[in-house]
């Protein structure tokens, strides 16, 4: 037995040695690299080494911390002294030396308070609170952690806030308040992600996996452990890997896959021993005991349980002893030794009740509520000036940053507006050229016709028959009316574009407007034998500008007559829809293609089209219709099919 123990110790030393030598070489090379640097820089480098190696090589981490403390003391840099003391306190806590740890934390707090170093004051309180948590004193744990959280929140120190929230999450987890535990652990993950702390995020994920395991959500716990293993491997966190492998082992034990569980637990135990991770060793030894018990090897089970209990008693962490009694109870139940099972059940209950009593749980909830309502008065008195100065500096920085951003936005906005205005101007110029080309062409044609017909009348008046003279006069009249209509639309359009057209909506009788429009086009319709029909009664009312509405209906009826063959029908139909009138001007004329419909109301796409009897037009009337309908709060659209006619539909409000 003694020989086996010597061999085990020797193997452990051989396993630890390469890791220790690697870290030592790294420390030596760092010191060599910065040997010509200032003492302040050296102390900072050593502190960083202490923190990053707290789990991998704790003894070497302590060596670096002690050296950093000596340098900080030699240059009287109290800020660095407080930090070194806090960092070494964390290492001693991980090693289970709570007396040394609390002494270092209190010393760090004393120095930090003397120089009003808000950051290290907060870290000291959180570290002290974490130690009370491990000892099961939730009341003192919460008092200190909440003080720390208040300071970190005032400083907007997300890293510090994350250390506090993870501690609070652990307290709730121990009290089996898993909803609150997950709330704080997920908040920790958010904070860690914001500051890109991968190792800190991995720890929070690992604790979430533990919560799900305690809730017996085994598959969910396994998924989290798998993700955590990847994260810990990436950041080379030995302690984290040991905890994760132990988590795998516990999951497979629960699934009754004992061989698989043993592999993971043995791997975790070996690593926990290499880095002197006591809590990890206790967990692994307890689970090895359970595994061997399930396999019927009770002698090996006894051996592992006794080792676990011995380590747990040597530490001051009460939860380690609670877990030992819990697993020993399970072990004796497996052995069907109900006497010892009852004995350890009592021990488990007594110890657990000491940290899980209702007063303690109520205090935790009370402390959280108090933290949300107000900050610790004493701590605020000490830190107010320091925090106020930092807040003012931060506010000045925010104001300057906002001014720079606003200036940049204004500059970009002006540049963008100018650029868009230039593009719009180019488009308008192009549309203007096309538009006036069409206008010039369509004004020229009617005048050519008028001059041609008058020339014939002047030269051959005496030789022309009466019916020939009448025909020429009718053609002159038609050309004149077309020209007048074009000029009228052009005038309305120019007034609307310059914003000089007054908008005066009133209650109107649309029935009268439709009948009046029919009377205007009665002669044109008779010439093509086209029927004009409507379904409206005598008193259909709408709320619109009278001149605009007349222009819309006049243009649409005129277009209907223009594009309808002889003997056709143009109808104006009214329909009430949700407080509006839908007006449909329907013809059974030539119809429109899809491409024509698409460009019908676009100023850049206006085009001259001949009617079924050669009538001229520019398309400007439909542009006016769209503008006037929309000005009155309506919409206009068209349905058409080649050879079957068109329906122009627009809406207008029925009342104010």
Going by C-alpha positions, the residue among 580, 525, 563, 568 that lies closest to residue 640 is: 563
Q: Is residue 585 very low, low, confident or very high in pLDDT (cuts 50, 70, 90)? A: very high
- Comparing 84-88, 241-245, 283-287, 475-479, the range with the smallest average pLDDT is 475-479
Q: Is residue 373 very low, low, confident or very high in pLDDT (cuts 50, 70, 90)? A: very low
For CA atoms 472, 474, 480, 485, the dihedral sign is negative
- According to the model, what pLDDT value does residue 187 have? 93
Using one digit for the tens of pLDDT, what is the confidence trace for 171-230?
888 888 999 999 999 999 999 999 999 989 999 999 999 999 989 999 999 999 999 999
Paired tokens of 637: 């659209």
CA distances from 391 to 160, 187, 385, 394 (A): 17, 24, 10, 5
Rounded CA gap, 564 and 499, in Å? 35
Domains recognised in the chain with CATH numbers = 33-110 (1.25.40.10), 389-501 (1.10.287.130), 502-653 (3.30.565.10)
Q: Are 574 and 535 in contact (CB under 8 A)?
A: yes
Q: Is residue 376 very low, low, confident or very high in pLDDT (cuts 50, 70, 90)? A: very low
State yes or no: pLDDT of 653 exceeds 70.
yes
State yes or no: pLDDT of 278 exceeds 50.
yes
Rounded CA gap, 54 and 87, in Å? 8
Burial of 260 (C-beta count, 10 Å sphere; 0-12/13-18/19+) = middle
Paired tokens of 278: 């006591």
Rounded CA gap, 193 and 125, in Å? 24
pTM for the complete prediction? 0.48
- According to the model, what pLDDT value does residue 392 have? 67
Paired tokens of 488: 């009228």
Backbone angles phi, psi at 655, to 5 degrees: -150, 170
Rounded CA gap, 525 and 528, in Å? 5
CA dihedral 326, 329, 331, 332 (to 10 degrees): 170
- Residues facing 586 on adjacent strands: 571, 647
Burial 516-537 (b: 16+ CB within 10 A, else e): ebbeebeebbeebebebebebe
What's the rounded mean pLDDT across residues 441-457?
69
105-114 contact pairs (CB < 8 A, 24+): 105/131, 108/81, 108/82, 108/83, 109/82, 111/78, 111/81, 111/82, 111/85, 112/78, 112/82, 113/382, 114/78
Instruction: Identify which has the larger pLDDT, 404 or 32.
Output: 404
- Residues facing 507 on adjacent strands: 543
Using one digit for the tens of pLDDT, what is the confidence trace for 62-120?
999 999 999 999 999 999 999 999 999 999 988 888 889 999 999 999 999 999 999 99
Q: Is residue 15 very low, low, confident or very high in pLDDT (cuts 50, 70, 90)? A: very low
In which element (H, E) is residue 608 found?
Answer: none
Half-sphere exposure of residue 286: CA atoms within 13 angstroms, side-chain side: 25
Going by C-alpha positions, the residue among 279, 273, 264, 333 that lies closest to residue 301 is: 333
State yes or no: pLDDT of 386 exceeds 80.
no
């Amino acid at each position: 037995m003694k020989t086996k123990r010597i061999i085990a110790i020797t193997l452990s030393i051989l396993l630890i040695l390469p890791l220790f030598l690697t870290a030592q070489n790294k420390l030596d090379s760092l010191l060599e690299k910065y040997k010509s640097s200032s003492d302040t820089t050296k102390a900072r480098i050593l502190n960083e080494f202490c923190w990053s190696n707290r789990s991998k090589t704790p003894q070497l981490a302590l060596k670096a911390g002690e050296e950093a403390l000596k340098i900080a003391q030699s240059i009287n840099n109290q800020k660095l002294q407080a930090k070194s003391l806090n960092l070494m306190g964390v290492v001693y806590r991980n090693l289970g030396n709570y007396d040394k740890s609390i002494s270092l934390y209190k010393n760090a707090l004393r120095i930090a308070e003397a120089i009003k170093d808000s950051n290290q004051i907060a870290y000291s309180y959180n570290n002290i609170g974490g130690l009370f948590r491990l000892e099961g004193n939730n009341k003192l744990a919460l008092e200190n952690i909440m003080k720390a959280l208040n300071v970190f929140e005032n400083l907007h120190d997300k890293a510090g806030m994350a250390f506090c929230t993870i501690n609070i999450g652990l307290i709730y987890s121990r009290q089996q308040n898993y909803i609150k535990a997950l709330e704080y652990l997920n908040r920790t993950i958010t904070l860690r992600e914001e500051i890109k702390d991968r190792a800190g995020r991995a720890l929070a994920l690992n604790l979430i996996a533990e919560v799900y395991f305690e809730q017996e959500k085994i598959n969910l716990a396994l998924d989290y452990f798998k993700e955590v293993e990847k994260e810990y491997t990436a950041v080379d966190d030995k302690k984290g890997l040991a905890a994760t492998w132990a988590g795998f082992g516990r999951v497979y034990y629960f699934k009754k896959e004992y061989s698989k569980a043993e592999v993971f637990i043995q791997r975790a135990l070996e690593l926990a021993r290499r880095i002197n991770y006591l809590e990890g060793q206790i967990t692994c030894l307890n689970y090895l005991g359970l595994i061997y018990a399930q396999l019927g090897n009770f002698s090996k089970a006894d051996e592992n349980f006794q080792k676990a209990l011995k380590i747990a008693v040597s530490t001051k962490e009460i939860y380690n002893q609670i877990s030992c009694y819990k697993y020993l109870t399970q072990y004796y139940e497996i052995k069907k030794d109900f006497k010892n099972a009852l004995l350890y059940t009592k021990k488990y209950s007594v110890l657990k009740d000491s940290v899980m009593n209702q007063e303690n749980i109520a205090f935790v909830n009370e402390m959280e509520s108090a933290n949300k309502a107000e900050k610790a008065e004493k701590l605020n008195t000490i830190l107010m000036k320091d925090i106020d100065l930092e807040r003012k500096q931060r506010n000045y920085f925010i104001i300057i940053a906002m001014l720079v951003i606003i200036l940049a936005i204004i500059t970009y906005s002006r540049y963008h507006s100018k650029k868009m205005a230039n593009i719009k101007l180019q488009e308008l110029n192009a549309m203007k050229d096309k538009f006036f080309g069409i206008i010039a062409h369509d004004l020229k044609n009617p005048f050519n016709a008028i001059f041609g017909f008058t020339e014939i009348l002047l030269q051959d008046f005496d030789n022309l028959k009466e019916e020939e003279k009448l025909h020429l006069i009718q053609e002159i009249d038609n050309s004149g009316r077309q020209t007048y209509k074009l000029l009228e639309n052009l005038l309305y359009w120019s007034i609307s574009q310059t914003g000089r057209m007054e908008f005066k909506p009133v209650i109107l009788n649309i029935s009268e407007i439709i009948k009046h429009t029919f009377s205007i086009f009665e002669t044109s319709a008779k010439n093509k034998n086209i029927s004009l029909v409507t379904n409206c009664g005598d008193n259909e009312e709408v709320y619109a500008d009278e001149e605009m509405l007349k222009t819309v209906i006049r243009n649409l009826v005129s277009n209907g007559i223009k594009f309808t063959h002889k003997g056709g029908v143009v109808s104006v139909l009214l329909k009430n829809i949700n407080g509006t009138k839908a007006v449909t001007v329907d013809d059974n004329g030539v119809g429109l293609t899809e491409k024509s419909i698409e460009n019908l109301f676009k100023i850049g796409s206006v085009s001259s089209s001949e009617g079924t009897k050669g009538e001229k037009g520019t398309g400007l009337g439909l542009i006016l219709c769209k503008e006037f309908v929309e000005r009155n709060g309506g919409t206009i659209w068209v349905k058409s099919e080649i050879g079957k006619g068109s329906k122009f539909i627009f809406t207008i409000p029925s009342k104010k």
